[in-house]
Amino acid sequence: MNILERLNRIKLISGLVTALILLILFSPLQAQQKGESLSESELERLEDRNMNYLIQINEIVKNYPAFSYSYKMDDGKLQDVVVTGVDNDMDRKKLEVVLFDLKSNRNKMKTTANRMGVFYSVDEEAEFKGGEEALKTSVLSNLEYPHEAKNWGLEGTIFIKFVVDENGSIPFATTSSNIDTSVEMYLEDLEQQAISALKATSGDWEPAAIDNVQVASLSVLPITFDFEKNPTLPSLIR
């Protein structure tokens, strides 16, 4: 092999190594290396805690239809939470603390995937193509309050945890709630109604993104079954 052939082989090998390094660096599943390294158990623990926070928030804000909030950031770091539309000082302060902790947890989970390649916190959230109001219209149009559950007096909020994949479809959904009942089948009726109504929107989502790369992500949608208002969708907490 002459010197020119050796140089060409070296260039070829060097090019392949560079391409491999770039592939590793820009793979969406490697994005987790940018933030804090979390074990699978730590990731699940934080997600469980976040669900508890969402339930606490919903219990308070259901009495405040004008509720809204905003985050104060400084150089990308969370500094404070401003809550408006909540008249009671104690409720407002509790919301500020819980929203702060929720956002802090999500920042810790930023761009970290679970073993199935699903991200719990992303740069850009998965969004229904028609927007939040269109999502509410679509879900509520496919939702019925089960007669048996309503006659039994069962009401409350079902939180649907669901995955939006890279194609905008919903391959998985499960539920969580703080509804207590002695008749589990009525609660299961509410849960199945909520999941079915959400899955009717499958395929109509814009996937989440990390570094402009579309990824599968976890989202949470609350659906409240209420005697006076019938099923409603509370404010989404981001």
The residue from 43, 76, 110 where one domain ends is 110
- Cα dihedral sign for 126, 131, 133, 135? negative
Q: What is the pLDDT of residue 80?
A: 95
For the chain, how many structural domains are there in total?
Answer: 2
Share of the chain above pLDDT 90, in %: 64
Which of these, 85, 97, 199, lies nearest to 138 by C-alpha position? 199
The tens digit of pLDDT for each residue in 151-161 reads 888 999 999 99
Q: How many CA atoms lie within 13 A of 110 on its CB side?
A: 13
Q: What is the pLDDT of residue 3?
A: 52
160 plus 81 within the same structural domain: no
121 plus 237 within the same structural domain: yes
The residue from 53, 88, 110 where one domain ends is 110
Please state the rounded mean pLDDT for residues 58-75.
92
Mean residue pLDDT across the chain: 85
173 plus 232 within the same structural domain: yes
pLDDT bin (cut points 50, 70, 90) of residue 1 is: low
Range(s) of the domain holding residue 154: 112-238
pLDDT bin (cut points 50, 70, 90) of residue 182 is: confident
Single-letter residue type at 65: P
Residue 191 has pLDDT above 50, yes or no: yes
